Amino acid sequence: MPPGSDTVFAGSIPDLYDRLLVPLIFEPYADDLALRVAALRPAHVLETAAGTGVVTRALARLLPAGATIVATDLNQPMLDRAASIGTTPRATPVEWRQADALQLPFADASFDVVACQFGVMFFPDKARAYAEARRVLRPGGRFLFNAWDRIEENEFAQEVTAALAAIFPADPPQFLARTPHGYHDERVIARDLAQAGFAAVPAIDTVSARSRAPSASLPALAYCQGTPLRNEIEARCPPQGASLDQATAAAASAIAARFGSGAVAGKIQARVVTIQT
């Protein structure tokens, strides 16, 4: 399946993504990113690639009174899910808006902070997206984002990828390694930011956490059916002989073989990047 399918979050994916994958791997990093943004005490925040809103909700809880948040995503179904969940009472109001991070519909110097949680890996032209973030930032503004480290540092994702390679040896699904875990080289990140016009040196932190689930079946379902990996699996079924459910079960078996048949815990790791205009 062409890499273009890597950005398709539609059908049942947004619901499974939010119910399963968000608590599994995204919440610790959402809290981390939101705390970093809130420490800057910004008045106007733009979030790109907001997905189902896990960072947005954390920001809405933490930002000072009077602040504004505009949360954008390319995929309207993800924003619809985010808006349906909403934010807590008395939290900072959020404007949900469909937008392409490579062509932001905002005026120059409109925001104090641009934040992006695990979205940059999906941008087809990262330097262009970074240049757009820089354009809408005020002088002295900050761009903060995170990106997953290599797949070998993210144990459930690694096990799922290996299990699917065994099922589909002629054409292994590589979405997880190619896209979510394919943009971790600090030199490449710094190069892309420089090409976008950022003159400062980015601060890049490596942050590890633990991904926990009550059973091996939950991370298998989350990755195989709650991400665009599902598109790759379904494109191979049934010609290569395994259904989506069978592939998911094989991934669950692989995770259980490594981490046990009960509650499971695996390492996750990401880069967190901050740069000033």
**For residue range 203-228, what is the model confidence (pLDDT) as tens digits?**
999 999 999 999 999 999 999 999 99
What is the domain range of residue 225? Answer: 3-276
Count of domains for the chain: 1
What gap in Å lies between CA 45 and CA 113, rounded to an integer?
Answer: 5
Is 26 within 8 Å of 91 (Cβ atoms)? Answer: no
> Which pair of structure tokens corresponds to residue 112?
């104090």
- The SS3 call for residue 147 is strand
pLDDT of residue 27: 96
Q: Which residues of the chain have pLDDT under 50?
A: 1-2
CB atoms under 10 Å from CB of 197, counted, come to 12
Distance of alpha carbon 179 from alpha carbon 251, whole angstroms: 19
The total of other beta-carbon atoms located within 10 Å of residue 190's CB is 16
Q: How many residues does the chain have?
A: 277
Which two structure tokens, joined as six digits, stand for 47? 């979030």
Neighbouring C-beta atoms of residue 276, cutoff 10 Å: 16
Q: What is the CATH number of the domain that holds 199?
A: 3.40.50.150
Per-residue burial over 232-245, b if 16 or more Cβ lie within 10 Å, else e, is bbbebbeeeebeee
- SS3 state at 148: strand
Question: What angle, 0 to 180 degrees and rounded to 10, lies between the N-to-C axes of helices 155-167 and 217-225?
Answer: 70
Q: How many CB atoms lie within 10 A of CB 226?
A: 23
pLDDT at residue 239, rounded to an integer: 62
Within the chain, residue ranges assigned H as helices are: 13-16, 27-38, 54-62, 76-85, 126-136, 155-167, 175-178, 186-195, 217-225, 229-236, 244-259
Q: Give the pLDDT confidence score for residue 88 in this predicted structure.
A: 82
